[in-house]
A = this chain, B = another copy of it.
């Protein structure tokens, strides 16, 4: 249940610097870092991709990323965490999401890193539009889980 105030959780509109983020999460008390680097593929379902555009519901997306970070600290014995997602236009090969997790032992770092990207892709309100030579499409996505109607009813005001 480490404090999360040392984590980096960000949405950025410029290129992500992986070297700085990996250095940030690294501390001498750790022994392992696991990194996930997601970047723009040059194709999608056999069509050649020209570039991508990501948009987000920024304040909610950032809050959801911070929730993921807090949850990771509760769930896994990890040290520091960096979760950064880029928005706007991205060219082929550019990093869209970068997650780095440090821990004393590798199992926690692997588990936490994977949990982070899996949860991000399922619950953070970010959308990807793929641009091809003959047009563009919104990428297929996942529908986030929503609290059930009954439990989320607000008390009458």
Contact = CB atoms under 8 A, between A and B. Distances in A.
Main secondary structure of the interface of A (DSSP, over half): mixed
A41 B31 contact: yes
A26 B114 contact: no
A85 B33 CA distance: 15
The size bracket of the interface on A is 20 to 34
Interface string A69-107: 000000000000000000000001100000000001010
Nearest to A37: B33
12 contacts: A18-B22, A22-B37, A26-B93, A29-B42, A29-B43, A30-B39, A31-B39, A33-B35, A34-B35, A34-B37, A35-B37, A110-B114
